[in-house]
Amino acid sequence: MARRQISQATLSEHNRSRVLHYLFRNGTVSRANIAKALELTPAAITKITAKLLESGLIEETGDLEGKDRRRSIGIRLNTHAFHIASVKFARTLIRIGLFDLAGNELEMSEITAIDHRQIPEAVESVRAKLNAMIRADARIAAIGMAVPGPYLRRTGRTAMVSSMQEWRSVNFIDEFSHAFRVPVVIEQDARAGALAFRLFDSEHTNRHLAYYLIGEGVGLGVIDGDDTINGELGAATEIGHVSIDYDGPLCECGNHGCLECYCSAVAIHNEVNKLGLIEDSENLTHRAVCEMLFHLAFSGNSEAIDLVQRIGTYVGYGAVSIINAFNPKRIMIGDIVAGGGDLLLSAVQKVVNERVLPELAAATEIQITGPENDATARGAAAVAIEQLLSNPSEFVDVL
Amino acid sequence: MARRQISQATLSEHNRSRVLHYLFRNGTVSRANIAKALELTPAAITKITAKLLESGLIEETGDLEGKDRRRSIGIRLNTHAFHIASVKFARTLIRIGLFDLAGNELEMSEITAIDHRQIPEAVESVRAKLNAMIRADARIAAIGMAVPGPYLRRTGRTAMVSSMQEWRSVNFIDEFSHAFRVPVVIEQDARAGALAFRLFDSEHTNRHLAYYLIGEGVGLGVIDGDDTINGELGAATEIGHVSIDYDGPLCECGNHGCLECYCSAVAIHNEVNKLGLIEDSENLTHRAVCEMLFHLAFSGNSEAIDLVQRIGTYVGYGAVSIINAFNPKRIMIGDIVAGGGDLLLSAVQKVVNERVLPELAAATEIQITGPENDATARGAAAVAIEQLLSNPSEFVDVL
């Protein structure tokens, strides 16, 4: 008997989730059309929507014009009713934001320039900031976090964080999962970014999408079909540690010639220091140095242009590996190094055109998504929203 | 009204497919237990099983002992009632087999040593052989084909076939899809191999599995979660064309330093010719040369041992990329080069231990599956069986 009840509860949650996902994708819909699309009985829809209305997750709209000019009430997701707090952990940067359920950014703040000794402090600051946000905003229903990969999702730790290994000692599950009155959902950063494109941007509805994160680290998130590619431990699609030269420099992960060694913001910072391109660059943040380098290049400095093109070539080698490994329809290049814009992109595209089979090169769109659109920060919200749509009763009172 | 009928038919097929998949995984089960597991009404199960019994796809067994010692009739998939013809296309080798629905090999034959001028002839021979098999065996319900990747599944062509580009002119869909009284299902070779492990071997039920095919070409098939990784055009997981050296030798695909250039049977053949290790090796097939090389190494020839270890090191670089890109729980190394056995495997494992993060290396099992167990040939059958279980009405009369 107990088993039967659990099964019934599971089924109800499953159907609630189907309704929520359907509304998320389709906007305002009548109960009759939801019932038809999801093959549920009108009675079931009435019951499910009553609970969801009561919870505030959905709302009724004015009359919809139906066939035969009969009017019916529309239902839609109430995207303003709940908020999601999001945290993006990079290496020396942490961004904390607030989003609605449609992925609109409502607030964004940063904790910057931490060095490794400040990590415990930074963790404490994040916790304090989130608690303050939650106290101030009763609508916050979840916290989403994006962390550098390879993130071992069951143990809660990142297996390595090049150039700032001390992050490895942070167990995100232990530090955060029970620290708040709302649930916390944690995902690898680039995978969260890919999910943000999939969930929030109607032009990215296609089912084969890669978010190629080139920031303080180099990461990748891939949507293949209905799902992200995760791997057994959640450590798949770590393009930053796919080697482009088996005899190349030793990476902190143990591998040689990892892509990350050639084109991350950290690698660019080292290169700028070596070339002496920017005064006092040693004492600036990785991001500041990259921004100044791109500014120099855009203003015509030939040494800077050469360096950006060289970086673009390495980013291109990575893109070639991405295409041969994952065959996405679209690759979105994002984060700090995406600030290289068209100059960077044309170097990437050149490598892809030279090194990828013509049929595949022609079928792959590569785009830059500017640093002003931080897919990872939105992605941290996206993973929480995806969970909320899939298991609403864990986030909101719908029972 | 017409729309409604289609929807009902789709739903019936969907439920038939769920029952068939459930029986495939669970052996002999009572109608009551199927109903419970799949949340279908007893009436629906009675109707579905009646049709499936009539079609011959399932059969009733003797009494099962149920709870309260009540007896009920068991139902199981009738794995002997239908046969699957399978074709594995490599470069100079074609294998044609016959399997039952449990993946047992009933027959196997080969067309070997074709060169590129003989491709049209070979295609004709395959067609003739299959037609003869179908005439002789009324139980054949489908043909499965495994072809070298990157196979563009919508157009029906392989985008490149290193060392034997003439295969590119063969459109598998045009040549085969309407040539027989039964449907033909075509998949990239290594992906078919991965599916064979997933479907037929109870010890490979885990959801993150890679089949690393090292034969005349180098390919990869990955199961991540519920599905194979396919990519937009079906050209994902082409590890053979993921570069291990951006400055390496030019591959026929346009990329430099492709893994395939270092450790395919073709590359090994070239290396053996260069070293003069085997008399008259230039005139032997790739497979024969590899077999002789392994034999030499096993009998203690130090030059042969060195070469096998060197090949194993390159296979290892590929395994490192596979782990960082796909994070499978298990990597099965198969096909011709797997004949290198433990000697090869220990070189692979050494590279993985040195170059993969300890947490990931410890969590990844790497195994050799001997050439006597040709996962790709079984895989060709597996892709057809998977389709048959998913869309039975396209293969068998169940309406």
**Mean pLDDT (10-residue bins), chain B, 399 residues:** 49 90 93 90 92 95 68 90 95 92 95 77 93 96 95 89 81 92 96 94 77 96 94 97 97 96 97 96 94 98 98 98 97 96 98 97 94 88 97 89
Contacts of A171 in chain B (CB under 8 A): none
- Give the A:B interface size as CB pairs under 8 Å: 171
User: Residue B145 in contact with residue B89, Cβ under 8 Å?
Assistant: yes
Which of A17, A96, A156, A26 has the alpha carbon at shortest distance from A381?
A96
In eight-state DSSP terms, residue B184 is E
Q: Which fold has domain A201-373?
A: Nucleotidyltransferase; domain 5 (3.30.420)
Q: How far is CA A392 from the centre of its chain?
A: 20
- The whole-angstrom separation of Cα A313 and Cα A346 is 9
**What pLDDT sits at residue B370?**
75
Residue spans of alpha helices (H) in chain A? 2-26, 31-38, 42-55, 119-136, 172-176, 189-200, 260-263, 265-275, 286-298, 302-326, 341-355, 358-362, 375-390
* Cβ–Cβ gap A247/B242 under 8 Å: no
- The whole-angstrom separation of Cα A98 and Cα A235 is 27
**What pLDDT sits at residue B64?**
67
DSSP string, B299-368: TT-HHHHHHHHHHHHHHHHHHHHHHHHH--SEEEEESGGGGGHHHHHHHHHHHHHHHS-HHHHHT-EEEE
- Residue B347 to chain A, least CA–CA distance (Å): 15
Count of other CB atoms within 10 angstroms of residue B109: 11
Q: Indicate whether A64 pLDDT > 70.
A: no
Restricting to A residues 217-236, those with a Cβ less than 8 Å away from any Cβ of B are: 224-227, 229-236
Q: Which among B7, B226, B232 has the least Cβ separation from residue A327?
A: B232
Does the beta carbon of B110 lie under 8 angstroms from any beta carbon of chain A? no
Indicate the pairing of strand A105-111 with strand A94-100.
antiparallel
* Cβ–Cβ gap A245/B241 under 8 Å: no
Stretch A105-128: mean pLDDT: 86
Rounded (10°) CA dihedral A291, A294, A300, A302: 120
* Cβ–Cβ gap A320/B255 under 8 Å: yes
The answer as to CATH 3.30.420.40 being correct for domain B204-373 is yes
- Residue B356 to chain A, least CA–CA distance (Å): 6
Contacts of B325 in chain A (CB under 8 A): 236-239, 242, 321, 325-326
Q: Which among B242, B256, B320 has the least Cβ separation from residue A255?
A: B320
Q: Could you tell me the strand order of the sheet in which A105-111 lies?
A: A105-111, A94-100, A83-89, A140-147, A184-188
- The whole-angstrom separation of Cα B294 and Cα B307 is 10
In eight-state DSSP terms, residue B251 is P
- The whole-angstrom separation of Cα B259 and Cα B241 is 6
Does the beta carbon of A247 lie under 8 angstroms from any beta carbon of chain B? yes
- Residue A175 to chain B, least CA–CA distance (Å): 21
Show me where the domains of chain B are located. 2-77, 83-194+377-394, 204-373
* Cβ–Cβ gap A236/B160 under 8 Å: no
Q: Which among B233, B321, B326 has the least Cβ separation from residue A363?
A: B233
Q: How far apart are the first and last CA of chain A?
A: 19
* Cβ–Cβ gap A231/B208 under 8 Å: yes
**What pLDDT sits at residue B203?**
64
Rounded (10°) CA dihedral B346, B347, B351, B356: -30
**What pLDDT sits at residue A159?**
86
* Cβ–Cβ gap A320/B7 under 8 Å: no
- The whole-angstrom separation of Cα B207 and Cα A256 is 29
Does the beta carbon of A203 lie under 8 angstroms from any beta carbon of chain B? no
Count of other CB atoms within 10 angstroms of residue B127: 15
- Residue A208 to chain B, least CA–CA distance (Å): 6
- The whole-angstrom separation of Cα B318 and Cα B313 is 9
At B196, list the tokens: 């064979």
User: Residue B43 in contact with residue B11, Cβ under 8 Å?
Assistant: no
Q: Which among B224, B245, B254 has the least Cβ separation from residue A246?
A: B245
Q: Is the dihedral of CA A132, A133, A136, A140 positive or negative?
A: negative
* Cβ–Cβ gap A39/B7 under 8 Å: yes
Token pair 């068998």 is found at B396
- Residue A194 to chain B, least CA–CA distance (Å): 15
- The whole-angstrom separation of Cα B52 and Cα B47 is 9
Domain range B83-194+377-394, CATH class: alpha beta
**What pLDDT sits at residue A197?**
92
pLDDT digits (tens, 9 = 90+) for A204-228: 566 899 999 999 999 999 999 989 9
Task: Give the rounded percent of residues in chain A with a pLDDT score beyond 90.
Answer: 77
Which of B328, B356, B330, B339 has the alpha carbon at shortest distance from B214?
B339
User: Residue A26 in contact with residue A34, Cβ under 8 Å?
Assistant: no
* Cβ–Cβ gap B327/A39 under 8 Å: no
Report in angstroms the alpha-carbon separations of B10 from B31, B36, B398: 22, 21, 13
Burial of B65-88, coded b for 16+ CB within 10 Å and e otherwise, reads eeeeeeeeebbebbbebbbbbbbb
**What pLDDT sits at residue A249?**
97
User: Residue A219 in contact with residue A149, Cβ under 8 Å?
Assistant: yes
Q: Indicate whether A202 pLDDT > 80.
A: no
**What pLDDT sits at residue A296?**
98
Whether the domain at A83-194+377-394 and the domain at A201-373 fall into the same CATH topology: yes
Strand partners, B86: B97, B144
**What pLDDT sits at residue A119?**
87
- Residue A61 to chain B, least CA–CA distance (Å): 28
Contacts of A359 in chain B (CB under 8 A): 152, 159, 233
Q: How far is CA B203 from the centre of its chain?
A: 16
Does the beta carbon of A243 lie under 8 angstroms from any beta carbon of chain B? yes
Q: How far apart are the first and last CA of chain B?
A: 19
At B365, list the tokens: 């099992």
Count of other CB atoms within 10 angstroms of residue A356: 24
Which of B113, B123, B187 has the alpha carbon at shortest distance from B151?
B187
- The whole-angstrom separation of Cα B392 and Cα B142 is 11
- Residue A140 to chain B, least CA–CA distance (Å): 31
Token pair 């990747």 is found at B149
Does the beta carbon of A8 lie under 8 angstroms from any beta carbon of chain B? no
Question: Which pairs with CB-CB distance under 8 Å and at least 24 residues apart come from A131-139?
Answer: A131/A179, A131/A180, A133/A85, A133/A96, A133/A98, A134/A85, A134/A180, A134/A181, A134/A182, A137/A83, A137/A98, A139/A81, A139/A82, A139/A83
pLDDT digits (tens, 9 = 90+) for A307-358: 999 999 999 999 999 999 999 999 999 999 999 999 999 999 999 999 999 9
pLDDT digits (tens, 9 = 90+) for A226-279: 899 999 999 999 999 999 999 999 999 999 999 999 999 999 999 999 999 999
Q: Which fold has domain A2-77?
A: Arc Repressor Mutant, subunit A (1.10.10)
Residues 6 or more apart whose CB falls under 8 angstroms from that of A354 comprise: B254
Burial of B180-189, coded b for 16+ CB within 10 Å and e otherwise, reads bebbbbbbbb
Cis status, amide bond into A371, omega within 30 of 0: no
Q: Indicate the helix (H) or strand (E) that contains B8.
A: helix B2-26
Residue spans of alpha helices (H) in A89-222? 119-136, 172-176, 189-200
Of all residues in chain B, the one with the smallest CA distance to A3 is: B36
At B166, list the tokens: 């003439």
Q: How far is CA A217 from the centre of its chain?
A: 14
* Cβ–Cβ gap A243/B160 under 8 Å: no
B338 burial level (CB within 10 Å; 0-12, 13-18, 19+): buried
- Residue B202 to chain A, least CA–CA distance (Å): 18
Contacts of A364 in chain B (CB under 8 A): 232
Count of other CB atoms within 10 angstroms of residue B141: 23
Of all residues in chain A, the one with the smallest CA distance to B237 is: A325
- The whole-angstrom separation of Cα B320 and Cα B137 is 45
Q: Which among B159, B325, B326 has the least Cβ separation from residue A359?
A: B159
- Residue A206 to chain B, least CA–CA distance (Å): 9
Does the beta carbon of B254 lie under 8 angstroms from any beta carbon of chain A? yes
Does the beta carbon of A160 lie under 8 angstroms from any beta carbon of chain B? yes
Contacts of A243 in chain B (CB under 8 A): 244, 317, 320-321, 355
Q: Could you tell me the strand order of the sheet in which A71-77 lies?
A: A29-30, A71-77, A58-65
- Residue B238 to chain A, least CA–CA distance (Å): 5
User: Residue A256 in contact with residue A267, Cβ under 8 Å?
Assistant: no
Contacts of A321 in chain B (CB under 8 A): 242-243, 321, 325
Does the beta carbon of B354 lie under 8 angstroms from any beta carbon of chain A? yes
Written as one letter, the residue type at B99 is F
Which of B347, B338, B345, B382 has the alpha carbon at shortest distance from B365?
B345
Report in angstroms the alpha-carbon separations of A139 from A84, A97, A142, A178: 8, 14, 9, 19
